[in-house]
Chain A
Amino acid sequence: MAVNDLVSMLVPGETFPGWPDVQSPSVIFWLVLLVGIPVTVLLIVSLIGMGPTLIRSARGEQVAVDESVWLGPDAQPRAVTAAATAGSAARELTPGDATASAASTGGASERW
């Protein structure tokens, strides 16, 4: 068995009597074995993991959360959200605007 310097430090080996000598592998072989194959496997696993997301993205089934998203029975006009989040003084609030005040509301605030 042909043993290079690196392997011989880890596994001291010798060819059994009568066994054919094996040629020492090239540097390219070691690179492919130790780098090329793991990287290829990693890429394949990553693609499998990201596949569903990429497919959904290609189909346009995602909603970017940079934009305001309203969920629930009240279909909120975009203008209201945009004005409110921009901090504009001239906000165009619709129903219930007159009753809007911090004193009449409760709830909770949290940060993470």
Chain B
Amino acid sequence: MSAGDSLTVAETAAIDRALADAARASGLVFNAHIGPLGADPRATATELHAATAEPTRTVLVAVDLGQHVLEIVTGHQAGHGLTDGDCQLAALTMISSFRDGEFTSGMVAGIQQLGELGRSLPILHARDAKDISA
């Protein structure tokens, strides 16, 4: 898909579902922005991220199909569970699909990956001994 193409209702629903699943898995807020990001995509994506309701807990996936740019922005709190390396990994997953023209599946796969990587696993050995024996 490129600029000028269209997303179907089913495709937007699939991305929406992936965002909701990722939010459920990680406890973070996931948003996606598909559209022009201007001359400085990173700055624009950061400002869009800041305009969300809970920027510190929000992960924004911004894609400019015209410039072929993907930006993932994580808030301060979201960054604890989701490192820049995790975001880089998900970004690579996404762009490898984008290069094949698979926009929706790339978005879904990348967002799911972010949700999985952002999930904070419980540290079992740190639990109280009483809880374990009970």
Contact = CB atoms under 8 A, between A and B. Distances in A.
Nearest to A100: B50
Nearest to A87: B38
Interface in B76-92: 76, 78-79, 82-84, 87-88, 90-92
Interface residues of A, number: 42
Interface of A is mostly: mixed
Interface string B8-49: 110010011001000100000111111111111111101111
B15 A71 contact: yes
Interface string A59-102: 00111111111111110100011001111000101111101111
A87 B6 contact: no
Interface stretch (A1-9, A24-32, A104-112): A104-112
A75 B8 CA distance: 19
A70 B12 CA distance: 10
User: Is the interface on chain B under 10, 10 to 19, 20 to 34, or 35 or more residues?
Assistant: 35 or more
B3 A96 contact: no
Interface of B: 1, 3-9, 12, 15-16, 19, 23, 29-44, 46-56, 58-60, 65-76, 78-79, 82-84, 87-88, 90-92, 94-95, 98-99
Summarize B's interface: helix, strand, loop or mixed: mixed
A85 B38 contact: yes
B33 A65 contact: no
B4 A66 contact: yes
A40 interface: no
A81 B46 contact: no
Contacts of B3: 65-66
Contact of B87 (A57, A94, A106): A106
A76 B33 contact: yes
Contacts of B51: 76, 80, 84, 93-97, 100
